[in-house]
Amino acid sequence: MTKLIVITGVSRGLGLAMTEGFIQAGHTVVGCARSEAAVAKLSQQYNSPHDFMVVDVADNQQVKTWAEQVLSRHGVPDLLINNAAIINPLAPLWQIPVEEFDRLIDVNIKGVANVIRHFVPAMKEKNRGIIVNLSSGWGRSTSPEVASYCASKWAIEGLTRSLAQELPSGIAAIPLNPGIIHTDMLEICYGEEAAAYTAIKDWVKQAVPFLLKLSAKDNGMPLTVPV
């Protein structure tokens, strides 16, 4: 059965890998990213029924417009994945410029809330769908010089598990730790040492079937992709 999968942050990293993986598995992907070039490339590479738009998830009005278009064109998603996130350059918390800190909070926390705000009412009306909010190992533990990112991912854990208690029985909200994957974001943290961790191509082989098997019984469960 073909599923409709909505993913934020599809321009690179895990978002791009999931997009390609779900499409290869025969599912329909609707995604967004801030990069016009990346969205244009994806739109050229994957034709209808796949659908990609330029959206800044931190902008509530942009998300509202996007959600209305998605729901009108494609209907309610079977799987809604809040993947879009950023990380600040490594630094003690007090040295992170206020603009950078604010932007991270706007994308990583408010962006997730914006997407939920404009998709979940339609999912509730149909009483179906799985919401996956990507967390992190740093949403369940801490390290120095990533305080802002930790704060955002701990917030996602709490937000998601609280949301799970608010949903009807046919819908699930799941905080998902993807594991430690060699991405551009990981290179910001670990530099050359990032290459020692799981490659995206290996991760996505495990992540796609794992995500497709999630169901309403997983509601509120803090899960981790097995790699």
Say how far apart CA 106 and CA 56 lie, in whole Å.
Answer: 10
Q: Which of 46, 149, 190, 197 is catalytic?
A: 149
Quick check: is 149 catalytic?
yes
**Residue the block writes with tokens 């290459």:** 195
Tens digits of per-residue pLDDT, 120-156?
999 999 999 999 999 999 999 999 999 999 999 999 9
Per-position DSSP letters for 192-215, written without gaps between them: GGGGGSEEHHHHHHHHHHHHHT--
When pLDDT is cut at 50, 70 and 90, the band that residue 100 belongs to is very high
Say how far apart CA 9 and CA 85 lie, in whole Å.
Answer: 7
CATH code, domain with 154: 3.40.50.720
Q: Which domain holds residue 70?
A: 4-212
Is the residue at 224 inside a domain?
A: no
**Partner residues linked to 124 by β-bridges:** none
Residue 106's identity, in one-letter code, is: D
Tens digits of per-residue pLDDT, 169-181?
999 999 999 987 8
Is the residue at 53 inside a domain?
A: yes
Total count of domains within the chain: 1
Is the residue at 123 inside a domain?
A: yes
pLDDT of 109 over the 90 cut = yes
Tens digits of per-residue pLDDT, 38-71?
999 999 999 999 999 999 999 999 999 999 999 9
Is the residue at 159 inside a domain?
A: yes
Is the residue at 226 inside a domain?
A: no
Per the prediction, the chain carries an average pLDDT of: 94
28-33/4-8 β-pairing: parallel
Report the pLDDT averaged over residues 159-168: 98
